[in-house]
């Protein structure tokens, strides 16, 4: 199948002759693809902005924080003042969310409950974060026998029924805000430690970490500069999901009488009080605290989901 030159008589009529000259080299510059290269965080933030539900959650949480800080100041009524002449009043211009059986203002108490819930949630998440990152980081980074031993301990704690332990601790050290946070932290950090350890273990063997190791970078620096930025995503997600579970735990404990004690207000306490009067038709006493518990948990959950999607490097395209 020798190629014979005579057979090939190719001339495309609609192409002018003067185009058959060697291409100018500088034209190749036009080929360079210009696409904005976003940093990881910027890119994630853009994706989060696109997630309407997560943004709605974020906006609600900002409002909730403002409500928790300024709500009690905004209202003319104090949290604890009892007015026995104004018991169980429905919502009105004077009492925006109505009053309870001791004549206390439900609006102010709900705002106060928001403080407690957010405080418990944030503190629990913070403590989990600190213990979990340190513990999981060390276990993952050291590896081997240390890791094995440390994770054995985590496994045992992980096997414990979370709320049961919390209840037990509450029974022993007595109800109160500090004890709730303490009790939640006893087993709460375990999940975070497992995530951090897994991430560290995975990333530790990546080339870029090995590369910085060969340059003689110190362990602390590797953890700070290489490992943490790369493990931040799952950690943030875990934290956003810890907060609602802590808020739930507080409400749950207060509801069964182990949490915040009167005269302090918490959504769980208010819901418990409200439940007993459900048949009397004082719906606002149950409605507002439960609405706020649900909305807050909803907001944290959708934000956590949104963050998970936004921070997942696998979804980057």
Partner 1 sequence: MNTYFIKRFVAMIITLWLIVTGTFFLMHWVPGSPFNEERTTNAAIQKNLESYYQLDKPLLVQYGNYLKALVQFDLGPSIKKSSQTVNDMLGRGFPVSFELGLYTLLLAIVSGITLGVFAALRHNGLIDYLAMSIAVLGISVPNFVMATLLIQQLAVNIPIFPVATWSSPMHMVLPILALATGPMAIIARLTRTSMLEVLTQDYIRTAKAKGLSPVKIVFKHALRNALLPVVTVLGSLAASILTGTFVIEKIFAIPGMGKYFVDSINNRDYPVIMGTTVFYSAILILMLFLVDLAYGILDPRIKLHKKEAK
Partner 2 sequence: MEKILQVKDLHVSFSTYGGEVKAVRGVSFDLHKGETLAIVGESGCGKSVTSQSIMRLIPDPPGKIHQGEIIFKDRDIIKMKEPELRKIRGANISMIFQDPMTALNPTLTIGEQIMEGIIQHEKLSRDQAKRVAIEMLNLVGIPNPEIRLKQYPHQFSGGMRQRIVIAMALVCRPDVLIADEPTTALDVTIQAQILELFRDIQKKTGVSIILITHDLGVVAQVADRIAVMYAGRIVEIGTRREIFYQPQHPYTKGLLQSVPRLDAEKAELVPIPGTPPDLFSPPVGCAFAARCPHAMEVCDKVYPFKTQLTSDHNVDCWLQDERAKKLVSSFK
Residues 25-54 that bind partner 2 (CB under 8 A): 27-28, 31, 33, 35
- When binding is defined by CB under 8 A, the residue of 49, 59, 219, 278 that contacts partner 1 is 278
**Nearer CB in complex with partner 2: 11/172:** 11
Rg (CA), the chain: 30
Q: Does 314 bind partner 2 (CB under 8 A)?
A: no
Would you call 99 helix, strand, or coil by DSSP? Answer: strand
Cα 145-148-152 angle, rounded to 5 deg:
145
Q: Residue 263 and residue 80: Cα distance in Å, rounded? A: 6
CB of 21 to partner 2, least distance (A): 5
Q: Cα dist. 263→81, 144, 270, 282 in Å?
A: 10, 52, 11, 20
- In the stretch 81-100, what mask flags binding to partner 1 with x, by CB under 8 A? --------------------
CB of 80 to partner 2, least distance (A): 54
Q: Does 258 bind partner 1 (CB under 8 A)?
A: yes
Kindly report the number of other CB atoms within 10 A of residue 133's CB atom. 21
Q: Does 17 bind partner 2 (CB under 8 A)?
A: yes
- When binding is defined by CB under 8 A, the residue of 49, 210, 211, 275 that contacts partner 1 is 275
CB of 201 to partner 1, least distance (A): 12
Q: Cα dist. 21→9, 14, 24, 27 in Å?
A: 19, 16, 9, 13
- When binding is defined by CB under 8 A, the residue of 60, 97, 189, 255 that contacts partner 1 is 255
């Amino acid at each position: 199948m020798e190629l014979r030159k005579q057979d090939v008589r190719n001339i495309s009529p609609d192409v002018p002759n003067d185009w058959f000259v060697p291409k100018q080299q500088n034209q190749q510059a036009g080929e360079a693809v210009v696409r904005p290269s976003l940093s990881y965080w910027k890119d994630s933030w853009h994706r989060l902005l696109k997630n309407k539900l997560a943004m709605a959650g974020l906006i609600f949480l900002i409002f909730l924080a403002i409500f928790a800080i300024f709500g009690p100041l905004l209202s003319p009524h104090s949290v604890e003042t009892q007015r026995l002449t104004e018991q169980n009043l429905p919502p009105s211009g004077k009492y925006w969310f109505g009053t309870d059986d001791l004549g206390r203002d439900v609006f102010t108490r709900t705002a106060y409950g928001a403080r407690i819930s957010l405080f418990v949630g944030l503190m629990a998440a913070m403590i989990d974060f600190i213990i979990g990152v340190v513990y999981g980081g060390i276990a993952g980074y050291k590896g081997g026998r240390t890791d094995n031993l440390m994770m054995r301990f985590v496994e045992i704690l992980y096997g414990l029924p979370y709320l049961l332990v919390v209840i037990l601790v509450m029974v022993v050290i007595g109800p109160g805000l500090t004890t709730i946070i303490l009790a939640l932290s006893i087993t709460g950090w375990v999940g975070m430690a497992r995530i951090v350890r897994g991430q560290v273990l995975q990333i530790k063997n990546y080339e870029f970490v090995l590369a910085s190791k060969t340059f003689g970078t110190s362990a602390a620096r590797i953890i700070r500069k290489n490992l943490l930025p790369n493990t931040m995503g799952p950690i943030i997600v875990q934290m956003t999901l810890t907060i609602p579970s802590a808020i739930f735990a507080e409400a749950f404990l207060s509801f069964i009488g182990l949490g915040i004690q009167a005269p302090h207000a918490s959504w769980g306490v208010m819901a418990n009080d409200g439940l007993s009067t459900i048949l009397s038709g004082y719906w606002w006493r149950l409605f507002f605290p439960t609405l706020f518990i649900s909305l807050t948990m909803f907001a944290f959950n959708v934000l956590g989901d949104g963050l998970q999607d936004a921070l997942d490097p696998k979804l980057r395209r």
